[in-house]
Structure 1
């Protein structure tokens, strides 16, 4: 195949304890998927899950033991952190049942859904897409992906975020409104999932603003830590 211009590099995330990389196809994100965060954002009850997307090359891969540097994005004065459990899909499909969903999971990682909250808020008021608020460059920092069979991920694993040494977010993943299997079931009704897809599964309460120079340290118990500095 002859390309008119050189093709872009493949976005990829390191695999934990390996020299391998996980190629990224698409990034799906689940909105308001923790009980207390849903209340924080004005939702009530167990609403059906909804999804938005980020470009594959929005990932900012952060190898184990390092601190990633995320440029503070332009056109915002209100950048927010959202710590999340990330699911990596290894086997594609559509209309996947919750009972079969975990067979499609290749691995898990710690991620941040960084959000230009002022732009997102304005888009909401105008009934416009969230793309500028959610899908900008480097908006998806992510740590190494742990293969599912190696991940020590308990059903009530702790998820947390510390900013400059001060706790900001903290919960357990069993507080998700829709768990991983249910999320895959719902998402696969709308899209044919592909190997290489990443699913950011939502954030707990405590989201807030960060500034240039801030140090973020996120963790999901059993998956290590994700360290990011805003530059």
Structure 2
């Protein structure tokens, strides 16, 4: 099932996808443009992976990591479908990153990779923007690169894990103003979803609603004010964002 959180007429609703419409939890049906889209999950701790696709590491002239490169993001960064993201006026290179976002469904500690999917609630699409000008190095981005307000749209849907038989074989695509600029597949991750859950829970507790952003393939292209950016993952959805 595809689930969403939306606002309409001053009220927040849970909703599900129904033949191209949104069915609100008061049973009304509305269109996508009738509502304000909220993140489908209220974010708790957000983990982000650096260089989790070898081709992306190569395009940044960096060696693929031998251990997950993980950093944290604040809830201030998370916005919903059809949101706007501000490009800082003093930068030369700001780019999107289409990423599969894994949402944790229950408390997890010392989880083995073979059991990791038991702790997954579902999946959504993330677009984790970065400002390359501020990057201190390619494996530990500082706060100004990855923790800016409204810099990580997610959504539109939270898709139940049961509806995605193989999350490690999904096509990811990004379009800027309708042109395809990025394409990859989750099968090319260096560290798989089970590996990441095992790694993180080996030293800390994951909780319901925590999100793991699993990295992006190659294809980072500069975006400018006025651009429409669509990040798309097979079976999960198309996330629309505009640069202002």
TM interval, short-chain normalised: 0.7 to 0.9
| d(CA) in 2 for partners of 1:128, 1:160 | 25
**Higher RCO structure (Cα 8 Å, ≥6 apart):** 1
**What residue is the counterpart of 2:187 in the other structure?**
174
Q: How many residues are paired up?
A: 213
- The offset of 1:153, in angstroms, is 5.1
**What residue is the counterpart of 2:52 in the other structure?**
33
Pairwise CA RMSD: 2.5
| d(CA) in 1 for partners of 2:43, 2:145 | 21
**What residue is the counterpart of 2:221 in the other structure?**
208
Match of 1:163 among 161, 176, 179: 176
Contact kept, 8 Å, 1:15 with 1:145, in 2: the verdict is no
1:87 aligns with 2:102: yes
The unaligned stretches of length 5 or more in structure 1 are 1-11
1:117 aligns with 2:132: yes
- The offset of 1:19, in angstroms, is 4.6
TM-score w.r.t. length of structure 1: 0.83
SS in 1 for 2:87: coil
TM-score w.r.t. length of structure 2: 0.79
The unaligned stretches of length 5 or more in structure 2 are 1-11, 18-22, 26-39
Change (3 A) 1:152 1:124: same
1:106 aligns with 2:125: no
- The offset of 1:22, in angstroms, is 2.6
SS in 2 for 1:187: helix
**What residue is the counterpart of 1:189 in the other structure?**
202
| d(CA) in 2 for partners of 1:44, 1:74 | 31
| d(CA) in 2 for partners of 1:16, 1:52 | 32
Contact kept, 8 Å, 2:176 with 2:228, in 1: the verdict is yes
Change (3 A) 1:196 1:226: same
| d(CA) in 1 for partners of 2:152, 2:90 | 17
